[in-house]
Structure formats: C-alpha cells, structure tokens
Chain A
Amino acid sequence: MKENKGMTLIVKTVIKFLAPLVILFGVYIILHGHLTPGGGFPGGVVIASAFILLTLAYGKQIAEKKMKRSLAALLESTGALFFLILAVLGIFLGGWFFSNFLPKGEPLKLLSAGFIPLANIAIGLKVGGGIFAVFLALIIFRIAGEGGKEQK
C-alpha cells in the first residue's frame, strides 16, 4: 500500500535524484551569498522547495521522516535567534548593533566579509525551516478539512 501514496514511480525516481542536487544548490547560494548573486533568503527557499518536492512526490508520512515539522520550526527559531545573537554580539565586540566585528579577510574569498556569511546561514536556516513548516501546516490543514467533511 505504501507505493500507492504520493505520485507515480517516474516522479518519485526523478525526485530521488533531483532533491539532493536542489539542496546542494541551496547550500551553495547561501554560502556564496557574499560573492555571487543570492544570499540567505533565496537559498533557504531553495532548500525548503527540495523538501516540498519530497512531500509532494512521496506523501506526507515519508517526508516527515526526513524532516519533522517540529524540527523545521526549531530550525526557524534557531536561525532567528542566531541572527539576533550576531547583532547583539556586535554591541560588545564592535561597538554598535550589527557592527561587523569579525576580520574582513581578502575580498572574493569564501572566508571573507566578516560576519556576513554567518548571518546568511542564520537567515537561510530561518527561511528554509519556516517555509517548510508553513507548507506542512497547510497540508495537514487540508487533510483535516477533508476528514471533517467526510464525518458530516
């Protein structure tokens, strides 16, 4: 009965190969946010879209094994908190809110631009976790709504 859930075998097979690549692309967009176009927000949404693909293709149960809703919500809160902590650390280490307290490094290298990559990672976690959590909440709402109609 498990095979009947979700979409057809073709979609499942394609997404099995595609989802890791999509996640990798999202991580690339986040980590290279200070070098190439992109940043925390688009990268986070790309990662969330990979999990949304998994949910659409394999059904809710199997996707929830990979990433639970509570875990997604936890990641979101962690990202937001991390971003705020970075901002407050700026007061103590750099002098003002959101001061760039880490060394700037050499431009056009991956480890440069002070705390900007860290802030990108924080925003990526926040956006990715948040959007996937909302998507799961909407799907559960839909299923519950249909169940309610059947009872009546």
Chain B
Amino acid sequence: MLELYSLIILMILGSLVAIHTKYLLSAVISLTLVGLILCVVFLYLQAPDTAITQIIVEVIALVLLIRAVSIEKGTVGRKGARETFSAVVTTVFLVLFAFFAYRALLDLPQFGFPLMRVSEGYIREGLVKTGSANIVTAVLLDFRAYDTLGEATVLFTAILGAIIVLRKAGRK
C-alpha cells in the first residue's frame, strides 16, 4: 500500500504544479504526468486493460493539448475581487464535498474486499457464459453492453459536435 500512497501523493503534487505554474505548456505536461502516474497505479492494481487505455488516451491528449496551447500564448487570469470570490466559492464547495464524501465513504467496504455478489458471479461464470477469456471484455461487451453502447453514443456525439463546430463552412 505504501507504493500506492506515494504514487497518489505524486499525482497530487503534479496537479498542484499544473494549477500554479505560469506557463500553459508546463501545466499541460504536469497534467500528463498525473495521467501517466495513474497508468502506473492501474498496473500496480493489476488492471492492464485500463492501463493500456489510460496511457494511449493520455498521449493523444498530450498531443492535442500541446496543439491547443500553441494557439493561445498567454492566459487571462482573474484579478482582484473576482479572484477572491472564486477562491472562496471553490473552498466552500470543496469543504462541503469533502464532508459529504467522508460521510458516504464511511459505509464502503474495505478496498477490494470482500467480493461483491454481482462481480463474483461474473468471475465465476464469465468464461462459460460468454466464451471470452478476457473477463474485462466479457463484462464490457456482453454483460454490460448497454453501458458500452452509451459510451459509444457519448463519444459519437462529442466527435459530431467537435466536427460541426470546427468545420470550414460554418466560420464565414
């Protein structure tokens, strides 16, 4: 567990650097660092499927964000009273969120233990029922295919929106 905690502390440090740095490019790079450490965390928790997705999406996001950063040179920071206002609002929201999250997380069972009833069934009968050796794919595309369909729809809508907003004909 010590390795996990040190990785998580590194992730928090990376996000703090991303927030407080002056330059957009270093913010993007430290944000990518957070994603890469998250990939290592997934590997440590023995979830290679998620780790593969995480590292690939992170690299693509890095490329896209660097492209985006090279368009805008500087940032427009909030100054004076507005800055104080947004800081106070954020703090109040974070405290409220931490309070309710603490209350809710008290009821959770211990990490990874015991096995839930539903996932226990998937693990025992997954191979027989679907014939897929990779249990993650069996859950994604057979037991929980509705969720995958929803995810695909979300991605489709997002890409559709991006292409419509960024198309050439609409910017005259």
Contact = CB atoms under 8 A, between A and B. Distances in A.
B149 interface: yes
A114 B49 contact: no
Contacts, number: 134
Interface string A68-110: 0000010010001001100100000000011010001101100
A98 B59 CA distance: 32
A10 B145 CA distance: 44
B134 A37 contact: yes
A142 interface: yes
Nearest to B70: A142
B159 A42 contact: no
Contacts of A52: 60, 63
A42 B137 contact: no
Contact of A134 (B137, B140, B145, B159): B159
Query: How would you classify the secondary structure of chain A's contact residues: helix, strand, loop or mixed?
Result: helix
Given A37-B49, A107-B127, A112-B131, A83 B138 contact: no
A73 B166 CA distance: 14
A143 to B, nearest CB: 10
Chain A to chain B: the 10 pairs with minimum beta-carbon distance, closest first: A104-B131, A113-B132, A37-B48, A98-B145, A34-B132, A137-B166, A130-B159, A113-B131, A141-B166, A42-B52
Interface of B: 48-49, 51-53, 56-57, 59-60, 63-64, 67-68, 70-71, 127, 130-134, 136-138, 140-142, 145-146, 148-149, 152-153, 155-156, 159, 162-163, 166-168, 171
